[in-house]
Structure 1
């Protein structure tokens, strides 16, 4: 007797049944693994180490919240935290400045590619090079800024040697490439602005600031989100410029949290890995508060539309 064929057809293998669902995860797996090893695990380890007194070599000693309690009585930590707030506030100027430059450069005139290249140049050079350039720019006696202030006022200003001005001088150095980066983001966004909406707004009589506010900026939300997040991260990880230009001086007045974390954990100043990890946790939480707020606002705005 001949066997009747299965009414449901031949049985499919597990792979053929789940191929479309599993394949994306196979492509994501290497990236997720690297992200877990080099991002998630170090963050978790920093949280763990922050509850110990540890020099990196000796056995760890549990101190609980002791490192965090010590932070708030540490004058250098308070100075670093205040400097980071100043960095955050002033660094946000890069976003509107980058937008303004992008609008200025988003034109079809002779030589515009050359102008774009010149404005793009600060972004492609290393932060170390930027720090050295501005250190020479501010240098006493031979620095261009020193000579300019001496010519204007009769007394040259040594910016990086003055505790009142040094932090602001470093922030200006950091803003130079950061504005260029925001400009690139907005130039990309402006290329994707819908021309039909621009034409419709012009027919309705919109122009100038009204055109920018009601037509252009809403279409630049993704670029603005990325620009803000990257600028916040740049302000909070301002280690390299501080290290190159002042090494935390004068008198420790230009320290930021990332630099102070390095001093306490990895330099001859301390070798206190647990205390440095506590500073890193505080820095991470500050960063997460800002980024989470921006993400929440963007999601809410998108759902509102």
Structure 2
């Protein structure tokens, strides 16, 4: 009996080792990916599903959840503050995309071998390493009435200063300008990295064919910068849609809620003293996530089509 059990155990181990040897190439990558997949599922996929599920409830974060169905969404689409936040987010999306071409042209300027270029790179890189909170404070002082540099400059030119952060016509644009400062620096870094990987033989061949300036950039440089462009666009879209910290620091959603964005309105409803409506905040988060996915998915689809030459 003992000999039979030992033989069975040895046979099982042999089968396991044989299966591993046969499938080692296909199994090894999944073993390395497993911790990352587990973390991504736990901290990204599960919260997304939980937020979607929570959006169908009325919950203050502590008491019993009450099922509402689609009532949070029905209320949301009758909420003027939601439409103000959505409109501001659209403005953020459109204007924030200026960071991508601006970062590209700054990178092209800095990708030169001239005296003092390291100093210029450091100056352009500086906004990226400081906190968004610090950026918000700097621009709050920059726009401040009576002593702010921008206020005094406008007053000197036109005779009347403009309190940007106190005027509902200009406040969103003022905050976006503050956000563009570090975002351009981030895109610049991505493109500088991409320019280091541009194939010099293709550049030389294009020069021999007479390509110069814009033709060189459009037909030779930019196609090789597609990976950098993809990352720059995705990160810029995400930055435009969250944009919570600058709004919170510079205006706290004011004046009169005119500078709210969806992420800030979600915070107001779910976590601030104005709300504690977790389900309503989750509904706003779902809408924000849907907008983000539509925008990014469309860009990925276009990238894939361009790569396939369709």
Tell me whether the two structures share a fold, i.e. TM-score over 0.5: yes
Could you say which TM-score interval applies, normalised by the shorter chain? over 0.9
- 1:37 aligns to what SS in structure 2? helix
**Length-normalised TM-score, structure 2:** 0.93
State the alpha-carbon separation in 1 of the partners of residues 63 and 25 from structure 2.
51
Secondary structure in 1 matching 2:254: coil
Q: Distance in 2 between matches of 1:299 and 1:42?
A: 28
Q: 1:213 aligns with which of 213, 218, 221?
A: 218
Partner residue of 1:91?
96
Cα shift at 1:215: 1.0
Is 1:105 matched with 2:105?
no
SS class of match (1:13): helix
The residue aligned with 1:35 is: 40
**Per-residue Cα deviation, 1:28-56 (whole angstroms, up to 9, x for no partner):** 11111111111111100010001111111
**CA shift in 2, pair 1:59/1:12, >3 Å:** closer
Q: Does 1:290 align with 2:276?
A: no
Q: Which residue of 1 is the match for residue 6 of structure 2? A: none
Paired residues, what number? 297
Cα deviation for residue 11 of structure 1 reads 9.0
- 1:195-244 CA-to-partner distances (Å, cap 9, x unmatched) read 11111111111111111111111111111111111110100010000000
The answer as to 2:72 corresponding to 1:72 is: no
For the pair 1:299 / 2:304, whether they are aligned, the reply is yes
Q: Shift of residue 17 of structure 1?
A: 3.0
Task: Work out which of the residue numbers 168, 184, 189 in structure 2 matches 1:179.
Answer: 184
Q: 2:235 corresponds to which residue?
A: 230
Which is further off, 220-229 or 242-251? 220-229
In structure 2, the partner of 1:151 is 156
- Equivalent of 1:129, from 130, 134, 140? 134
Corresponding residue for residue 11 of structure 2: none
CA distance in 2, matches of 1:124, 1:11: 51
Match of 1:239 among 244, 249, 252: 244
Runs of at least 5 residues in structure 1 that lack an aligned partner in the other structure: 1-8
Shift of 1:15: 2.9
Residue 260 (structure 2) pairs with residue 262 (structure 1):
no
1:228 and 1:10 map into 2 onto residues whose CA distance is 49
Provide the rounded CA distance (Å) in 1 between the counterparts of 2:79 and 2:114: 56
Shift in CA distance, 241/11, structure 1 to aligned 2, threshold 3 Å: closer
Structure 2 residue runs without a partner (length 5+): 1-13
Q: What's the counterpart of residue 275 of structure 1?
A: 280
> Matched residues in 1 for 2:180 and 2:211: separation?
32
**C-alpha distance in structure 1 between counterparts of 2:107 and 2:308, whole Å:** 28
Find the counterpart in structure 2 of residue 24 from structure 1.
29
Superposed CA RMSD: 1.5
